[in-house]
Amino acid sequence: MLHPAHDARRYNFVILPQYFASGTTTRMAICLVMHPIALESAEAFSRLNKSSSVLALLRKGKLTPEKARRRAVESSMDAFFLKVMMAFYRRMQVLWA
C-alpha cells in the first residue's frame, strides 16, 4: 500500500534536488507540470487506499453503510495534510524559479 508520507519523502529526495540543480526552464516544468501530477496522484492513491480498507470492513459486515460513509470521509483527511504540504513546496519552488 502506498502511504502519503512515503510519497512525500520520495518527492523530497528525488524531485527537490533535481529542481535546485536545474535551470529556469526545468524548474518551471517541475512547478507547472510535474508537481501537480505528483500531488494529485499521491492524493488519489491515499484516498483509494483508505476507501479500500473501509470497503473491506463494510463487506465483512463490521460497518453499516452510514458508518462506512462517515469513516471514508474522516479517513480522507490524511490526504488534506499531504495537499497542504505539497502546496507549500510548490509556492516555494515558484518563488525560487
7-47 confidence digits (pLDDT tens): 556 666 777 787 788 888 888 888 888 878 888 888 888 88
Q: What is the pLDDT of residue 11?
A: 65
Domain carrying residue 14: 4-96
C-alpha cell recorded at residue 29: 516544468
Residue 21 class from Cβ within 10 Å (0-12 exposed, 13-18 middle, 19+ buried)? exposed
Q: What is the pLDDT of residue 8?
A: 57
**DSSP state at residue 76:** T
pLDDT tens digits, 44-86: 888 888 888 899 999 999 999 999 989 888 887 777 777 788 7
**What's this model's pTM, rounded to 2 decimal places?**
0.61
As a whole number of angstroms, the distance between CA 70 and CA 25 comes to 44
70-78 contact pairs (CB < 8 A, 24+): 75/50, 75/51, 76/46, 76/47, 76/50, 76/51, 78/4, 78/46, 78/50
Asked if the model's pLDDT at residue 2 lies above 60, the reply is no
Q: Are 27 and 97 in contact (CB under 8 A)?
A: yes
Number of domains in the chain: 1
